[in-house]
Amino acid sequence: MSLDTDSPERARPEPIQAVPVRHPGRWVAVAVIGVLVAMFVHLLVTNEAFNWSFMVDNMFRPPIMAGVRGSIALLVTSMLIGIVLGILLAIMRLSGNPILRGVAWAYTWFFRAVPRLVLAILFGNLGMLWSRIEFGLPFDRQIGALFGVQDFEARLFGFSATDLLTGFVAGMLALGLSEAAYMAEIVRAGIQSVDEGQTEAAQALGMTQGQILRRIVLPQAMRVIVPPTGNETIAMLKDTSLVAFVPVSTELFFQIRAVGSRTFQVFPMLVAATIWYLLLSSVLLVGQYYLERHFARGSGRAGQARARLRGMAVGGGGAAGGAGGV
């Protein structure tokens, strides 16, 4: 039977040349969108309130560039705190120790429940609690009083609260600590996405929990962890604008509002802020693309392609096999 269809006598049929289905709806949509875009462009060009020349003149001025640098520094430091603390919290959350589990849960509960804006202002005002922050024996005064010694102090070193808790540090802590709560959930999801059989196989080889986590589970979890972390980074870039209310002065949004209110050109400067955040987010998007591509490598299809390039390809046709054990 199968021979019949292959027989050379049967001519190859003509390629199909059918009349395609018409899509009149698309043309209507193009017309509507065209009109809307034209209206928008008209608004941008003709409305005096935009004051484009003023915006362009001012959006690259030194204080605003310092603000851009400040925002980026804030982004990098708070994400570092968030990622490191987040991994730690995720491991605590998944550990067999009920106390660590409880602490991680409580931390996540608190920092996910309180809005970042509130946290930022709260941390900015922590200086009201202490004038100095000192390290040493806890409850030293109380212990001294217990033994009848007045004003007993056992302190090693200390800082003035205003030195330590600058606006920048307060903003960094507020954003970083809150980010850690979200990162903990992302890392936890990544760890749990790794097949249980991986842990069992590693256990059977005599590895300890720490070794399994470091060498077997986390590297595989990275593929799940990296994409949402990229999203978190972009979200964090936008959230750095919240610390303008701490207040932090070396920050993009603060600087832009300052220029706006000083010159009574509020709207052009808000447009400048929009453009700046668009620009920086786009840079991060490009970074995210390359990072994801990097972590997809070495595993699954990408790794397969690379190995084939190296000429170590699978000989026969037996190369099938899905993403084994993923």
Partner 1 sequence: MTQASVPAQAGVPAQAGAGPMVRAEQVHKSFGSIEVLKGIDLEVRAGEVCCLLGPSGSGKSTFLRCINHLEKINAGRIWVDGDLIGYRERGGKLHEMREKEVAAQRQAIGMVFQRFNLFPHKTALENVTEAPLLVRREKRAEVRDRAVALLERVGLGDKMSNYPSQLSGGQQQRVAIARALAMQPKLMLFDEPTSALDPELVGEVLDVMKDLARDGMTMIVVTHEIGFAREVGDSLVFIDGGVVVEHGNPREVIANPQHDRTKAFLAKVL
Q: Whole-number minimum distance, CB 263 to partner 1, in Å?
A: 56
Residues 48 and 46: their CA atoms lie apart, in Å, by: 6
User: Which residues does residue 133 pair with via DSSP β-bridges, in sequence order?
Assistant: 159
Q: Give the one residue of 203, 249, 281, 288 binding partner 1; rule: CB under 8 A.
A: 203
Binding segment (CB under 8 A) for partner 1, from list 66-74, 165-173, 208-216, 278-286: 208-216
Using only C-alpha atoms, what is the Rg of the chain?
29
Per CB under 8 A, 98 contacts partner 1: no
Per CB under 8 A, 113 contacts partner 1: no
Burial class of 124 by CB neighbour count within 10 A (0 to 12, 13 to 18, 19+): buried
Per CB under 8 A, 309 contacts partner 1: no
Residues 53 and 49: their CA atoms lie apart, in Å, by: 11
Q: Which of residues 249-278 bind partner 1 (CB under 8 A)?
A: none
DSSP structure class, residue 243: G
Per CB under 8 A, 315 contacts partner 1: yes
User: Which residues does residue 134 pair with via DSSP β-bridges, in sequence order?
Assistant: 158
Residues 198 and 200: their CA atoms lie apart, in Å, by: 5
Proportion of the chain in helix, strand, coil states, percent, rounded to 5: 70, 5, 25
Q: Give the one residue of 208, 263, 274, 282 binding partner 1; rule: CB under 8 A.
A: 208
Q: Whole-number minimum distance, CB 233 to partner 1, in Å?
A: 24
Per CB under 8 A, 324 contacts partner 1: yes
Q: Give the one residue of 200, 285, 293, 294 binding partner 1; rule: CB under 8 A.
A: 200
Per CB under 8 A, 299 contacts partner 1: yes
Q: Which is nearer to partner 1, 106 or 326 (CB)?
A: 326
How many residues make contact with partner 1 (CB under 8 A)? Answer: 38
Site string for partner 1, 214-243 (x = CB under 8 A): -xx--xx-----------------------
One-character DSSP codes across 31-77: HHHHHHHHHHHHHHHH-GGG-HHHHHHHTTSHHHHHHHHHHHHHHHH
Tokens of 276: 């700046």
Q: Give the one residue of 10, 22, 26, 310 binding partner 1; rule: CB under 8 A.
A: 310
Where along the sequence are the contacts to partner 1 (CB under 8 A)? 195, 197-198, 200-209, 211, 215-216, 219-220, 298-301, 303-304, 307, 310, 312, 314-315, 318-326
